[in-house]
Amino acid sequence: MSILTIAWSMAGAMCITFALIHLFIWFRQRGVIAHLLFSIAALGAAGCAFAEFWALTAGTIETYHSTVRWQHIPVFILLVSLVWFIVVYFGTARKWLAQLITALWVLVLVINFLSPHSIVFTDISYLKYVELPWGEQFSIAIGTNSPWKIIPDMASLLIILFLADASIQLWKRGDRRRAITIGGSSVFFILAGGIHSPLVDAGIVHTPYLISFAFLGIILAMGFELSNDVVRAALLLKEVKANERRWRSLLENVQLLVVGLDIFGKVNYVNPYFLKLTGFDKEEVQGKNWFEYFLPESAGGELKRLFYETLESEFYPHYQDPVITRNGEERLIDWSNVKLYDREGNIIGTLSIGADITEREEAFQEIKQLKDRLQEENIYLQEEIILDHNYGDIIGRSDALKYALSRVTQVAPADTTVLLQGETGVGKELFARALHQGSPRSQRPLVRVNCAAIPVNLIESELFGHVKGAFTGADKDRKGRFELANKGTILLDEISELPVEVQSKLLRVLEEGEFERLGSNQMIRVDVRIIAATNRDLKEEVQKGTFREDLYYRLHAYPISIPPLRKRRDDILPLVETFVDKFSRKMGKTIKKIPKNIQEMLLSYDWPGNVRELRNVIERTVIATRGEKLNLSEMPRGSEPVEINEEPTEIIPLEEAERRHIIKALEATNGKISGEDGAAALLKIHPNTLRFRMQKLGIKRTVS
């Protein structure tokens, strides 16, 4: 076999091999059109090699003429495919130039088949046989060149310019390796082939035409680059698949909800944890509209709108929404979202990853409620500290006191309602504290309410709370004392002063454990132990019609009568010693002795103000004492700051005595109620409390 046969056969075979390889790649990757164009160009190059070899071995002019005419078909296929391959693969070529080159080669092909002797020759005179150094001969046509030959020459020049421009643009874009490998080699081989052919035609060079090998060089350069890309793509694909496996493994095993949606909002993926948490099967979820099947109706519309806004913008939302499980339960999920794209960069849906925060939010709400409650209780306790009504432990050894305390011991562990009865100043609050501390509710607060100290128009709000706008000045919701005392104990001091309209609401709390805030129709349930205290005979108040009989019997479930100080004289001296010690330390004094005569004076007094009066007297006495002996300069006349004319023999009802006392105070202040020199300050009570007592006792304000 001749060397020419071997060389051109190998050139054609190599081009066919490249064509088949990249045709196979194109079949596997239908979206990559560059491989199809390169495969067509390689087939064109193979056709050129075989046609050129046919012309070199032609024995007659007719054979040569036919070969040259048909050779333009594979050349057309090669060059046009090559141009459009550069357009697709480089991405930097000018399409209008590619279109112009294609049009010129279509014109070349038409003229080639319409002219008598192809587009190369007007006529062929004879075939010249040239012998190679090793003795092998090949033929070259001698004849007149066609004037139309300028068209393919011009098209070839445009191809060189086209390749050079595309390579320069590729270089500027930063892809220098590809610009040199493909662009540089293509320009070099086409230019070399274009120069060699005229030299052969002019008889300057006596070699076969080598245009096929120029095209083979281009195919080899481009094939090398494409193959390199294929190898890199295969490695990247392998890495991508490995990453996909890792990510899928992560998504399948992560203890988070993962949901994939297409652009229509339909579910196309959920991970096992989602199915475990919601109770659904995979078949029940796939293909369902996320916003219609798995979200509450109240949230579905808004989130659907947000979903489509996400697809159309660069915004990646982060939000919380409830998801409905198979059994109808709502689970609050904290979602993060990303958009998914296909190979062309088109959005194909979203992937959402969510954490179940239902228990966390419930815990936060519970903590917030406990915090609010703690703050409210703290405020209340601070108020209680300011009042400073706690005189310390209950002190005494008398039988009367021991009996009352035994009653406290018996009832303290139970939840029974207790009614503490006793005169003013006997220490009803101390007994209430003892009841609370001895009960299972001791870890919760004891909330104290003095019903006589709160204005009538505010007592209901104070006890049961109110909502915003319930009355003028109610600018926010406020809890009442019963809500503060929930799970604890409430002491209703001076219960007899409670207005009748509020008594019915208190009765409901006693019977059903529920009430409504002022201005609200929402029922609130509480678990509160009630301790009531009074210095009046509630039975008489019932007969007068100022106290509900049914409420009286509910409060009278377990009455405890606290004896007055005059009935437990054995407790007077221990109380005196305790108070002397307390006030001495407070005032920085050292009082070590209580004279016998002072002890007798204190024991002989009836103490109508009870322990409170005794405490006040001892405090004043300690202030006046100089030295280590207690000095009682005068017998106590009671603890009230305004003295009234004594009624030496007449015993009058307590209410009438209170009425006269208030009248005296008003006369002393010329009818002024509030202010530093008013009757309320003189009596050491709140002005509103004084107005309430005046209204109840029928006292009219007079100014002289």
- Whether residue 388 has pLDDT greater than 50: no
Question: For position 643, what pLDDT does the model report?
Answer: 39
Question: For position 196, what pLDDT does the model report?
Answer: 55
What is the 8-class DSSP label of residue 181? I
Q: Which tens digit of pLDDT belongs to each residue from 46-57?
A: 777 777 777 777
Q: Of 337, 305, 340, 301, whose CA–CA distance to 320 is shortest?
A: 337
Tell which CATH architecture fits domain 389-563.
Answer: 3-Layer(aba) Sandwich (3.40)
Within a 13 Å sphere around the CA of 142, how many CA atoms are in the beta-carbon half?
A: 9
Work out the percent of the chain whose per-residue pLDDT is above 90.
7
Question: What average pLDDT score do residues 15-41 get?
Answer: 75
Q: Is pLDDT larger for residue 216 or for residue 462? A: 462
Give per-residue burial for 535-568: e unless 16+ CB within 10 Å, then b.
Answer: bbebeebbeeebbbeebbebbeebebebbbbeeb
- Classify domain 564-639 by CATH number: 1.10.8.60
Question: For position 459, what pLDDT does the model report?
Answer: 87
Question: For position 421, what pLDDT does the model report?
Answer: 93
User: What's the topology of domain 3-233?
Assistant: Rhopdopsin 7-helix transmembrane proteins (1.20.1070)
Question: What average pLDDT score do residues 649-674 get?
Answer: 77
Class for domain 647-704, per CATH?
mainly alpha
Question: For position 188, what pLDDT does the model report?
Answer: 63
Residues in the chain: 704
**Highest mean pLDDT: which of 167-176, 204-213, 327-336, 693-702?**
327-336
Band of residue 686 on the pLDDT scale cut at 50, 70, 90: confident
Separation between Cα atoms, residue 12 and residue 44, nearest integer Å: 10
Q: Is pLDDT larger for residue 323 or for residue 156? A: 323
Question: For position 646, what pLDDT does the model report?
Answer: 40
Separation between Cα atoms, residue 637 and residue 609, nearest integer Å: 10
Q: Which segments within 342-467 are labelled E, that is strand? A: 347-356, 418-421, 446-450
Band of residue 392 on the pLDDT scale cut at 50, 70, 90: very low
Question: For position 89, what pLDDT does the model report?
Answer: 78
Which residue ranges make up each domain of the chain? 3-233, 255-356, 389-563, 564-639, 647-704
Q: Of 453, 499, 427, whose CA–CA distance to 683 is shortest?
A: 453
Question: For position 493, what pLDDT does the model report?
Answer: 92
Band of residue 491 on the pLDDT scale cut at 50, 70, 90: very high
* Residue 520 neighbours by CB under 8 Å, 6+ apart: 466, 467, 470
- Whether residue 390 has pLDDT greater than 60: no
Q: Which tens digit of pLDDT belongs to each residue from 57-74?
A: 777 877 777 777 787 788
Question: For position 391, what pLDDT does the model report?
Answer: 36
Flag the least confident range among 81-95, 500-514, 611-625.
81-95
Do 186 and 116 touch, CB atoms closer than 8 A? no
Q: Of 637, 680, 674, whose CA–CA distance to 662 is shortest?
A: 680
Q: Which tens digit of pLDDT belongs to each residue from 258-299?
A: 888 888 889 888 888 888 888 898 888 888 888 888 888 777
Band of residue 35 on the pLDDT scale cut at 50, 70, 90: confident
Question: For position 600, what pLDDT does the model report?
Answer: 87
Separation between Cα atoms, residue 160 and residue 194, nearest integer Å: 10
Class for domain 255-356, per CATH?
alpha beta
Q: Which tens digit of pLDDT belongs to each residue from 211-236?
A: 656 666 666 667 666 666 666 666 66
For the whole model, what pTM was predicted?
Answer: 0.42
Question: For position 702, what pLDDT does the model report?
Answer: 62
Question: What average pLDDT score do residues 307-318 get?
Answer: 70
Question: What average pLDDT score do residues 322-340 get?
Answer: 84
Question: For position 101, what pLDDT does the model report?
Answer: 84
Separation between Cα atoms, residue 340 and residue 326, nearest integer Å: 28
Q: Which tens digit of pLDDT belongs to each residue from 583-628?
A: 988 888 888 888 888 888 888 888 988 998 888 888 888 888 888 8
Flag the least confident range among 218-222, 474-478, 653-657.
218-222
Separation between Cα atoms, residue 407 and residue 397, nearest integer Å: 15
- Whether residue 642 has pLDDT greater than 50: no
Question: For position 489, what pLDDT does the model report?
Answer: 94
DSSP letters, 516-576, are: E-BT---EEE---EEEEEESS-HHHHHHHTSS-HHHHHHHTTEEEEPPPGGG-GGGHHHHH
Band of residue 145 on the pLDDT scale cut at 50, 70, 90: confident
Mean pLDDT of the residues in the chain: 79
Which residue type sits at 93?
Answer: A
- Whether residue 206 has pLDDT greater than 70: no
Question: For position 264, what pLDDT does the model report?
Answer: 87
Separation between Cα atoms, residue 86 and residue 176, nearest integer Å: 15
- Helical H segments across 2-60, by residue range: 3-28, 33-56
- Whether residue 310 has pLDDT greater than 60: yes
Assign 265 to helix, strand or coil: coil
Q: Is pLDDT larger for residue 422 or for residue 140? A: 422
Q: Which tens digit of pLDDT belongs to each residue from 334-351?
A: 888 888 887 777 888 888
Q: Which tens digit of pLDDT belongs to each residue from 395-437?
A: 888 888 888 888 898 999 988 999 999 998 888 999 999 999 8
